[in-house]
Structure 1
């Protein structure tokens, strides 16, 4: 009899504990999208900057990869035709390459017969133009790398100001009230920093590809000038 009463007491205790736990531990799960949207108004311009950043990265990466390719056979074919005096064929080969290096070599072929310094200068100007085309819109990434984190900080500061204004009006300084508002407002700071890091990294990586092309094209210009001098 005593065991039966003890068993019933244990059952009631367990049931009561479950009710209490259910009351004090509500479901606090939140979706990723819902969590992000708590960041406030400043997430809108940050999101726009993120999409524009990805657009610039993809567009510039494809363009730079396309025009910066240097065909190792191009200079050999051009050299063979220059040595044999076939300038038209050499120019046609350079044009068919459909690349920045081909355009630069073509500019050198067009002024063959003039002083070497003028040929080299003409090719350098052509190289500067090609590099300038590659660098289009890259400055936008550098700008976004500075603007996005700043927008995030402004969003956070704006939220903190609202929190303290609310406290001054309601005189409610509970930890829940303060921490809840802070974590929501700091979402904008985190988002801004993330966009800034993406833009900053892409800016330097793409510029690195352009610098690598500039070094290779200078070697080709030197090789082209040496061919002309020997011929």
Structure 2
């Protein structure tokens, strides 16, 4: 009875080991298949991959740049206000110059125009503001182009896959799944990859635009506050 139990136990351990080995092999096969699927997408996957890399680089570079520009400048306004009210314009200019922010550069230009009509000061601040916004918008348009082009490459891959299917059928005269699978791979993989890259780029494009709009609103608000501050002594 003991011998029978030991044999059953050994058999069970062997089955468990076999199952683990099979599971590891299946997992390895899945990893290999995923890489193979990307390769089977054909040459169209190369431009799609380049667009994906380009989109990611632009998004993260712009994201951190805009985020830096959108940091809270309330302390800057407080310091500039105090210096202006105390009549120390040189200190206010130094504070703006050392801040190295879009708002600081706008206020510095306004301080350099003090003594001229308010309209001239407003115009100078507005011009600097436009330059700062154009710097923030740099390359965001390229991300929008990526969002439009990537799905087109996916559609191109779909057309190439269909052509490959009909070509393989005409060459072999066979409608089996093995014959048409090559074209199906190209068709489905490139379509999915192109759409995925396009969707991600589209979302990133609008996220960056929303961030820029928030920065513009804050700059306009602070600029109006600065002009009101300059008009106070004359009231």
Kindly report which structure 2 residues correspond to 1:1-80, keeping only aligned pairs within 5 A, or say none.
29=30, 30-80=32-82
State whether residues 70 and 99 of structure 1, in contact with CA within 8 Å, keep that contact through their aligned partners in structure 2: no
State whether residues 67 and 98 of structure 1, in contact with CA within 8 Å, keep that contact through their aligned partners in structure 2: no
SS in 1 for 2:201: helix
For structure 1, which runs of at least 5 residues remain unmatched after alignment? 1-25
State whether residues 37 and 185 of structure 2, in contact with CA within 8 Å, keep that contact through their aligned partners in structure 1: no
Aligned-pair CA distance for 1:210: 0.5
Match of 1:144 in 2: 146
How far apart, CA to CA, are the structure 1 residues paired with 2:75 and 2:81? 10
Q: TM-score if structure 2 supplies the norm length?
A: 0.83
Greater fraction of residues in helix: 2
Greater Cα shift, 206-215 or 57-66: 57-66
Kindly report which structure 2 residues correspond to 1:59-208, keeping only aligned pairs within 5 A, or say none.
59-179=61-181, 181-208=183-210
Across the two proteins, how many residue pairs are aligned to each other?
206
How far apart, CA to CA, are the structure 2 residues paired with 1:156 and 1:186? 7
SS in 2 for 1:73: helix
SS in 1 for 2:74: coil
The Cα RMSD (Å) is 1.8
State whether residues 81 and 87 of structure 1, in contact with CA within 8 Å, keep that contact through their aligned partners in structure 2: yes
Q: TM-score if structure 1 supplies the norm length?
A: 0.84
CA spacing shift, 1:28–1:160, aligned 2, 3 Å: farther
State whether residues 68 and 101 of structure 1, in contact with CA within 8 Å, keep that contact through their aligned partners in structure 2: no
For structure 2, which runs of at least 5 residues remain unmatched after alignment? 1-25
